[in-house]
Amino acid sequence: MRLLGQLRKDEGVKIPDNPDSRYRPIVRAPRVFNGPKNTEKQRKKSYMQKRAVILESHWRKVYSLMSAINTIKKHKEKTVRTKAAERYKKLQEVAAKQERK
């Protein structure tokens, strides 16, 4: 008993072609998005802008220290993100070289 593939090969019969099974490019209409409704730059107000608070000298120092700490933290996070992006880019280049080989 021979398999169907062997019979087709021996007889020289091609595989039946179903046009519904062929791959076709997908045609999509371009999407249109509405622009931003408010063109002004929206910023979150800081604590001091929201409230008219006159801080004592001690609390003013605490607030300025916390602002400085948050600024340092954001700067560190930004450097970590940029280094990670560089590493990812290098890995992508290595992977592309591996695929070419």
Identify which has the larger pLDDT, 72 or 45: 72
Is 96's pLDDT higher than 80? yes
Res 41: pLDDT: 65
The string of pLDDT tens digits covering residues 8-44 is: 999 999 988 898 888 889 999 988 878 767 666 667 7
CB contact at 8 A, 22 and 29: no
Q: Which residues contact 55 (CB under 8 A, 6 or more apart)?
A: 63
- What SS3 class is residue 46? coil
The string of pLDDT tens digits covering residues 52-72 is: 777 899 999 998 999 999 999
CB contact at 8 A, 72 and 64: no
pTM of whole model > 0.75? no
